[in-house]
C-alpha cells in the first residue's frame, strides 16, 4: 500500500480531533474550569480543528458524580453551557466505554443533542458489545467510531476478525489505538494498512490515537496518516494519560491545509496549558518509556509518577521481574 499524497499535499479527508479534555481529563480527574473548556472550544474553532471531544459519558450508577469533574459524564446541559447550539463548523464528540456507560438511557436522539459523534472505546474481546452500542448510537442519528484499545497486545487473527465484524456494522470510523505507546512507526504503519484494507470497499474511515511512551506519538500519527488514516487524535501540549498523546501543535504545524492555524492555538497554549503543566503531571519520561518498550499497561508507571519516585533502576528491575 503506497503513501497517499506527499509532504506538500492537502488531504481533504483529514480530520483533526482534539481530545484534551477527555484524555487530559485522566490526568486531573476531569477538573477543568469552565473558562478553560470554553477558551479551548473557541481556540479549536479558530484553529480549524474538526472535532472536539468533551469527555466521557460514564455511567452514574458505576461512578459517583461527586468524585469526578463533570467531563467524565458530559451531560447535555454542561456541554451546552459551553457551546450553546454550537453554531461553528466544528463537531463535538464524547467517548463511551464498553461496560462503563448506560448507553440505553444516557443519550438523547441526535436531533435533540449538541453532540455529533459518539466514540465507542473497547478492548478487542469486547467488539460484539461495542457493535451493539454503535448500532444503538447510529439509530439515534450519531456519527460513530470504534476505538479498539491496547492493540499492541491483540493477536493478528483477533484483529482480522474484529475488522471484519466492524466492516459489516454501521460504524463510520475505526480507530487504531496505541494505548501502551509501544508501537514503532514501522509496525503502526503495517497495522494501519490492515485497517485501511478492511474498509476499502466501504465509505468508512480509519483513525489513529497515539500515546507518547517512546516519544513516537507524533511520528506514528504522521506515519499512519501518510498511508490514508483520516481521523487524527491530538491534545494541547500532548496532555493525556501517562506519557500523553500526540501534541496538536506538532500536528497543526505539519498539516499543509491552510484551514489549520497554529497561531490561534498558541495563544491558548501560552495562557492555559503552560501554567496547567506546572500543576498537573503528564508527558514523556523514563518510566513510561519502560512500559512502552515492554508493551505493558502504564499503570505501574503512573503510580511511580504519582509517588514522585526517581529510582528508575529499581522500578525497571521490578517491571522485568513481574513481566
Binding site for a copy of itself (CB under 8 A): 3, 6-7, 184-187, 214-220, 222-223, 226, 247, 249-250, 253-254, 262-263, 266-267, 269-270, 274, 286, 289, 293, 310-313, 316-317
Give Cβ neighbours of residue 257 (< 8 Å, ≥ 6 apart): 10, 11, 12, 14, 48
Minimum distance, C-beta of residue 23 to a copy of itself, in the bound complex (Å):
17
Q: What are phi and psi of 235, to 5 degrees?
A: -140, 155
Whichever of 55 and 238 has its CB closer to a copy of itself, that residue is: 238
Q: Tell me whether residue 99 or residue 185 sits nearer to a copy of itself (CB atom).
A: 185
**Closest CB to a copy of itself among 125 and 310?**
310
> Mapped to the 3 state alphabet, what secondary structure does 32-53 carry?
CCHHHHHHHHHHHHHHCCCEEE
Closest contact distance (angstroms) between CB of 274 and a copy of itself is 6
Taking the mean position of all CA atoms in its chain, how far away is CA 91? 15
In the chain, DSSP finds a helix count (H) and a strand count (E) of 13, 8
CB of 312 to a copy of itself, least distance (A): 5
Phi–psi pair at 232, nearest 5 degrees: -120, 115
Smallest gap from Cβ 143 to a copy of itself, in A, equals: 30
Nearer to a copy of itself among residue 45 and residue 165 (C-beta): 45
Residue 29 or 267 having the CB closest to a copy of itself: 267
Separation between Cα atoms, residue 300 and residue 287, nearest integer Å: 8
Q: Which is nearer to a copy of itself, 25 or 238 (CB)?
A: 238
Between CA 318 and CA 169 the distance in angstroms is 43
Query: Any residues with CB less than 8 A from the CB of 287 and at least 6 apart, and which?
Result: 300, 301, 304, 305, 312, 315
Q: How far apart are CA 179 and CA 304, in angstroms?
A: 18
In the bound complex, what is the minimum distance in angstroms from residue 102's beta carbon to a copy of itself?
39
Q: 82 vs 196, which CB is nearer to a copy of itself?
A: 196
Q: Provide the pairing of β-strand 51-56 with 143-148.
A: unpaired
Contact 216, 232 (CB under 8 A): no
Nearest distance from C-beta of residue 245 to a copy of itself, angstroms: 12
The nearest distance, CB 124 to a copy of itself, in angstroms, is 21
Is the distance from CB of 44 to CB of 90 less than 8 angstroms? yes
Amino acid at each position: 500500500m503506497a503513501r497517499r499524497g506527499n509532504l506538500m499535499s492537502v488531504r481533504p479527508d483529514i480530520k483533526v480531533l482534539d481530545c484534551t479534555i477527555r484524555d487530559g481529563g485522566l490526568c486531573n480527574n476531569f477538573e477543568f474550569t469552565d473558562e478553560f473548556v470554553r477558551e479551548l472550544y473557541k481556540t479549536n474553532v479558530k484553529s480549524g480543528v474538526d472535532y472536539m471531544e468533551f469527555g466521557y459519558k460514564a455511567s452514574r450508577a458505576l461512578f459517583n458524580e461527586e468524585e469526578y469533574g463533570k467531563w467524565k459524564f458530559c451531560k447535555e446541559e454542561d456541554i451546552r453551557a459551553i457551546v450553546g447550539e454550537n453554531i461553528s463548523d466544528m463537531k463535538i464528540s464524547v467517548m463511551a466505554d464498553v461496560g462503563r456507560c448506560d448507553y440505553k438511557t444516557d443519550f438523547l436522539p441526535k436531533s435533540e443533542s449538541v453532540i455529533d459523534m459518539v466514540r465507542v472505546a473497547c478492548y478487542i474481546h469486547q467488539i460484539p458489545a461495542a457493535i451493539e452500542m454503535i448500532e444503538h448510537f447510529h439509530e439515534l442519528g450519531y456519527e460513530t467510531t470504534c476505538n479498539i484499545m491496547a492493540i499492541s497486545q491483540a493477536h493478528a487473527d483477533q484483529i482480522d476478525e474484529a475488522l471484519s465484524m466492524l466492516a459489516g456494522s454501521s460504524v463510520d470510523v475505526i480507530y487504531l489505538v496505541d494505548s501502551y505507546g509501544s508501537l514503532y512507526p514501522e509496525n503502526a504503519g503495517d497495522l494501519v494498512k490492515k485497517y485501511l484494507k478492511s474498509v476499502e470497499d466501504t465509505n468508512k474511515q480509519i483513525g489513529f490515537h497515539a500515546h507518547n511512551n517512546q516519544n513516537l506519538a507524533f511520528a506514528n500519527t504522521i506515519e499512519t496518516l501518510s498511508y490514508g488514516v483520516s481521523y487524527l487524535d491530538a491534545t494541547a501540549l500532548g496532555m493525556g494519560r501517562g506519557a500523553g498523546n500526540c501534541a496538536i501543535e506538532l500536528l497543526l504545524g505539519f498539516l499543509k491545509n491552510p484551514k489549520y492555524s497554529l497561531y490561534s492555538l498558541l495563544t491558548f497554549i501560552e495562557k492555559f496549558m503552560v501554567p496547567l503543566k506546572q500543576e498537573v503531571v503528564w508527558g514523556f519520561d523514563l518510566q513510561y518509556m519502560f512500559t512502552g518498550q515492554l508493551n505493558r499497561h502504564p499503570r505501574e508507571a503512573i503510580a511511580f509518577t504519582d509517588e514522585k519516585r526517581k529510582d528508575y533502576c529499581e522500578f525497571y528491575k521490578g517491571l522485568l521481574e513481574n513481566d
